[in-house]
Structure 1
């Protein structure tokens, strides 16, 4: 539960921080910041994601003690890449001295520093999760959030330049790891240099297909924001970016929190009971993710007008609601692909299909950018992104759910969850036209209460059973009749 609590806190503060930075920088500079942030995620994905994914897949409490070369290999690879990225950031900063902090080179340097901080922090957070050390993970996230909120808000308030805000984001995450470096360490052990090539080869074979796909998904918003900036200016790119960021966080916050725990459960099931048990856990995880993410998407749609009126900075209103509405289906598909479908291929260590799905999405996005913006303007870019993500999800879902090795998904749970969300949407639709404060105050408890009641009544995805099991008092186990014989 500490892992879930940490992520909810992290997502909530990031949500508030994003709105604050958007207000302080204004649409044009926030558009530059958002474009650079998208580039930061691409850098992080390309350089570090294969190692972070390898940490979640191959590192565990047992590995920590029995196979220390796994951590040694991860640490050395991170150190090499971090030094190279820092050197590149320094070079970019030096080249941009004459242009000032609003120049392209300065923003690139800030993006590199942000990528460095994000990559190192995410790696250490993954290690804490793989060890099922919820207290350490919660502390790491809490320290990072306090420092990041203070430094990034201060940079946006006093310096008002995207490059400084990006640099503050990177430094704050490095500081959090530095402060908690001692509990993050593994027990001292001899470094087995001859195993380094073997471990790096394992990480590359497993992680490269995943990072290639993830890089494409990070590249899509970068291309789309760049397209809007080129066609309609950085202010319009800022409108699009804020809508995309808020919508993505609203739809993926819970999914990411669940994935932090559920995928590690599947890895542990494989370690203890074999591949078949791991795949059963993945199928159960997928039903849980769907049953909890779909109501988030429906609920966000229901409160979108009220959210825009009450929370979104005034300069962004109007375009925000339009872009967010068009982006909801695609971002929901992306969340389901990351947290429900990708784990199938990760457990099987057959990650090449995710590249083909990403390539299909990129092709659809490119075609959409050629056809839709001339007809619909910026809305065409949002629609192109949604169609791309939906296409990638459909392609990968077909690969996972058909054929001889198809995943035995819990289809009854999926159908019941869909029906429950349909009932919730019907109940909330009339509230979208009420006064914003009243609509938000009524829609959130009504939607949550209605869906929770249906979950409890029908035990959707086994959620009621899980809650009852957690709060049921423990009793001494009855004698095993088989053992007694």
Structure 2
């Protein structure tokens, strides 16, 4: 629960900081920042994410002592990739090639990719060992430094470059504070193994390829907007997408950080059959949380736009985010509900194929959209592509014979969501503001929770009651028997 809360608050902080940066920079400069930052995330995903995935799936307290070569291989792999990117960047700049972004912004984007990749790798190591306090400390230090350096850079300089530089410094400062705590005494660079690196790549690279393909869609759409309509239109599109994506990720990834580790531990300790059962229950929980999050965000959009969206973005913001909402829901289900089926089974090729479906559908829909549709047309195309990808992945998952959510649970979730919409929709356009927002959130949460807990969807009622009861015993770790049992949510 500590990890869930810390991760959730971290995403909420990033979400609020993104709004502040957009307000400080304005649409045009924010468009440059958003394109550079999206480039950084794409580079990080392409080159560093297989290391994070390997740590999440295979590193543990047991592996730390029994397989010291694993950590050495992960460390060496990160250093080798970082050096290769530095050399490649130098050659790129010397070639004289020109891009929509300046060379300075591209260099800063690569620095963000390195710093964020190292930070994510460190947090994956901490999560894999269930070190809740160290994980929370990493998040806290990073957020304090980000607010001071990245937020300060946007406020004082109103420059995309200085904002990115502040982000690099904040990430570097956070990882520096945890380096000593994360050192493995038994690990030595000489233990790094090429066969082990190949095995880690074989597991991680298909997932990386799929994630990169998914990231390429909004990145390409931003570049298209910048080329056809200018950076101001790119900024409008980017804020709506970034806001919606972070809001849904605040729910989905906070669940995933707990649920997937439990599924991994269940597979390691109790076998594939029990792991499939846990994955099925995880899917139900993700659907039960993500669906009302997307629906609720749409219901409160008028109040959200009035209260926290910068004035230069209003109007465009709610219209674009409404068009994107289906795609955001589908992406959350792909990442946090369906993909774990293949990750646990170590059969990740279908994830790539489903991502390729999205990459084909997106440009096809853009081609069919009227040229004058601008950012709205690209938002529709992006949502349609993600929906097609989810449909393909569900079909592929059927061949793996997973434990799907019970129809009774799915029906209760859909019913609860429909009742919530019926109760809150009349308020959607009526006097948007703080009072309306608080009333909508409170009433909607109460209605939805009453129906879902009343139906005991995925056993969440029993779990909620257990959390309310006083504890007289400590939890055992899902991996090493010290903190959280693998069946804590099973």
Q: TM-score range by the shorter chain?
A: over 0.9
Equivalent residues in 2 for 1:46-445, closer than 5 Å:
46-86=46-86, 104-190=102-188, 193=191, 196-374=193-371, 376-400=373-397, 402-403=398-399, 405-437=401-433, 438-445=435-442
Q: How far apart are the structure 1 equivalents of 2:306 and 2:468?
A: 40
CA distance in 2 between partners of 1:103 and 1:364 (Å): 27
Deviations along 1:40-82, one digit per CA (max 9) or x if unpaired, are: 1110100111111111111112111111111111011111222
Query: How many angstroms apart in 1 are the aligned matches of 2:438 and 2:315?
Result: 22
Structure 1 CA distance, aligned partners of 2:303 and 2:137? 34
Kept in 2, the 8 Å contact 1:19–1:312? The answer is: yes
Contact conserved, 2:11 with 2:249, CA < 8 A, in 1? no
Quote the offset at 1:471 in angstroms: 3.3
Q: Conserved in 1, the CA contact under 8 Å of 2:357 and 2:388?
A: yes
Give secondary structure in 1 for the equivalent of 2:399: coil
CA distance in 1, matches of 2:148, 2:402: 48
Partner of 1:38: 38
**Contact 1:251–1:331, Cα closer than 8 Å, also in 2:** yes
CA gap 1:441/1:77 in 2 versus in 1, 3 angstroms: same
CA distance in 2, matches of 1:174, 1:468: 41
Deviation for aligned residue 1:375: 5.6
Aligned to 1:453: 450
Root mean square deviation, CA, Å: 2.0
- Name 2:15's counterpart in structure 1: 15
Contact 1:113 1:171 in 2 (8 A): no
Q: TM-score, normalised by structure 2?
A: 0.92
CA contact (8 A) 2:55 2:121 kept: yes
Uncovered stretches (5+) of structure 1, i.e. residues with no partner? 477-485
Once residues 265 and 199 of structure 1 are traced to their aligned partners in structure 2, the CA distance between those partners, rounded to angstroms, is: 24
SS, match of residue 436 in structure 1: coil
2:181 is paired with a residue whose SS is helix
Superposition deviation, residue 377 in structure 1: 2.6
* Number of residue-to-residue matches in the alignment: 470
Q: Distance in 2 between matches of 1:190 and 1:50?
A: 21
Residue 275 (structure 1) shift: 1.1
CA apart distance, 1:190? 5.0
Report the Cα offset of residue 320 of structure 1. Answer: 0.5
2:252–2:286 contact (8 Å) kept in structure 1: yes
| Of 461-470 and 119-128, the range deviating more from structure 2 | 461-470
Shift of 1:94: 8.9
Contact between 1:206 and 1:349, CA under 8 Å: does it hold in 2? yes
